[in-house]
Amino acid sequence: MPSRLIPLFPLQVVVFPRTPLPLHIFEDRYKEMVGNAIRDKSEFGVVLVKDNGIVNAGCTVVVEKVLETHPDGRMDILTRGQRRFEIVSLNEEKDYLQGEVSFFDDDDFAPAPPELRDQALDNYRALSNLSSPRERGEPDLEDRQLSFQLAQSLPDLDFLNSLLRHRSEIGRLKQLNHYLAEYVPRQRIIERMRALAPTNGFGGKPAGL
């Protein structure tokens, strides 16, 4: 597939196709980038940034809605993931980073077995029952890439990045089920320990309670 030059937004986040991503835009270079995307109804690429730079794969987003515009030009926007891509080369001609990218999709479009999807949904419901502050909405069960819907709120960016790159829904669901089978019980223990932890640091309740 031919490469294409697109703006890049390095963030400590992974976004998937058709999943929402709210953003607060405050740097001048990204005000310009997002302003152009709104004006032209065009995409920009979100890429995961790490200590040693950006990873070479990401997902484009489009601005679905401008939630608020502040007097100083800052913006609160709601974006939604579109297409996955790999970075071919970087371009620094503008104030914000651009990249020549090659878009990709799954190589294997075979539908996932119902039992594999059901297991993933059970794990997702168990995840949603945790008292984590992360919001977990209802997944779109019609999405042929359901794994993206189920994984979007997980905090492990390296794991999410590996899912983003994976080109088989069956493979992604297997990875997700394996991950959640370990993650959910571990989080339950952490939350139970937090609930039992002393509140004043000395093994008892705070004075006066």
pLDDT reported for residue 3? 78
Identify the structural domains of the chain with CATH numbers, from first to last.
4-104 (2.30.130.40), 114-196 (no CATH)
How many CA atoms lie within 13 Å of 26's alpha carbon, on the beta-carbon side?
1
How many CA atoms lie within 13 Å of 98's alpha carbon, on the beta-carbon side?
15
pTM comes to 0.87
pLDDT reported for residue 145? 96
Q: What are the phi and psi torsion angles at 14 (to 5°)?
A: -120, 130
What is the residue-level pLDDT of the chain in tens, covering all 209 positions? 567 999 999 999 999 999 999 999 999 999 999 999 999 999 999 999 999 899 999 999 999 999 999 999 999 999 999 999 999 999 999 999 999 999 999 998 888 999 999 999 999 999 888 865 455 567 888 899 999 999 998 999 999 999 999 999 999 999 999 999 999 999 888 888 877 865 555 444 444 44
pLDDT reported for residue 109? 87
